[in-house]
Homo-oligomer: A and B are copies of this chain.
Amino acid sequence: MSEQKKSITMKDVAIEAGVSVGTVSRVINKESGIKEVTLKKVEQAIKTLNYVPDLYARGMKRNRTETIALIVPSIWHPFFSEFAMHVENEVYKRQNKLLLCSINGTDREQDYLDMLRHNKVDGIVAITYSPIENYLTSGIPFVSIDRMYSNIEIACVSSDNEAGGREAAKQLIRRGCKHLAFVGGHNTTINETKRRRIAFENYVREHQYPFSVFDLDETEEDYNVKLEKFLSKNPDVDGIFTINDLFALDVIKILQNKGKKIPEDVQIIGYDGIKMAGDKDYLLSTIAQPLEEMAREAVRILFDIIDGKAVNMQTMLPITFIEGNTTKFVDRKR
């Protein structure tokens, strides 16, 4: 293995071009007031030596790494990976890089936050359900998704979870559902997604329909087994709203195994609007979050914070109901 340690530095370029390092630096940074000939010489030298500046060395002076971190619970989950894609796009547009921090079920928040302090990332976009605020001491620019922080002043971007829950209820009822249920995964920490359930439930109760809930801790074992029991015990449920699309797919699978017809016997609405659910066999009816816009807003706000501008602490983006084929205007017998 040839250890080709030494890379081309600014000094090399300076020598090659017969100028000082200061001048090279000025060229790199496109400063004005450089004589045409000098510019040419330096550019030529850069080209012949195939020189690239070391951004971290620069960062040491400028106190900027041009790196943004994205914290997600698990990158394999389609909602998060789609979100990551959009964040990456935005970050890329601004010539920054994206550090991916996927918690992956293990307890990495603390570790990652430390790492990020070490590496002086310029800012963090986080979508996490852990009580991260305890760790968040550093005053680093931070934007959270779907998670309000009560104590600290932290910018938050989310979809209108309340409207989403309400809309789901409205649509199911309008389509003739008589017994509604919510299926979700509980989380210990408070977060905005809980509003989905609350708004849904409120609407249903206001309109005096029977209502059932299945809302276990996500980490609980035998989740699917318990879910199946729940569905068996509530055979007359004919309209289900799930906390997200993946849960909806689970529910569909279980109901199919029971021989239920969807949407004839049971109608289902998910939440998120992930690609997978829209493109593939069952076109899931869902409350779609404006994922791309959320990413765009989050990154925009983050950079505003980095640049010292004032920002809205709370940004809420509108949801839309997308009708797939798990809902339908049907005639109910009863």
Contacts and interface: CB of A to CB of B under 8 A. Distances in A.
Interface in A64-95: 65, 67, 70, 74-78, 81-82, 84-85, 88-89, 92
Contact of A75 (B59, B85, B104, B310): B85
A296 to B, nearest CB: 14
A86 to B, nearest CB: 9
A118 B1 contact: no
Nearest to A141: B1
Contact of A275 (B67, B76, B84): B76
Given A4-B139, A281-B252, A54 B120 contact: yes
A114 to B, nearest CB: 7
Given A1-B309, A52-B118, A308-B3, A92 B65 contact: no
Copies in the complex: 2
A120 B120 CA distance: 16
A39 interface: no
A19 interface: no
A107 to B, nearest CB: 12
Contact of A5 (B60, B63, B89): B63
Contact of A119 (B55, B102, B309): B55
Contact of A102 (B77, B88, B280): B88
Nearest to A308: B1
A322 interface: no
**Overall SS of chain A's interface:** mixed
A284 B53 CA distance: 49
Most B C-beta atoms less than 10 A away, residue of A4, A52, A56: A56
A213 interface: no
Contacts of A114: 52
A117 B52 contact: yes
A175 interface: no
Contacts of A57: 60
Interface of A: 1-5, 7, 50, 52-57, 59-60, 63, 65, 67, 70, 74-78, 81-82, 84-85, 88-89, 92, 97-102, 104, 108, 114-115, 117-120, 137, 139, 249-250, 252-253, 256, 275-276, 279-282, 305, 308-310
Closest 8 CB pairs of A and B: A81-B81, A100-B100, A1-B308, A56-B56, A76-B85, A249-B280, A55-B118, A76-B82
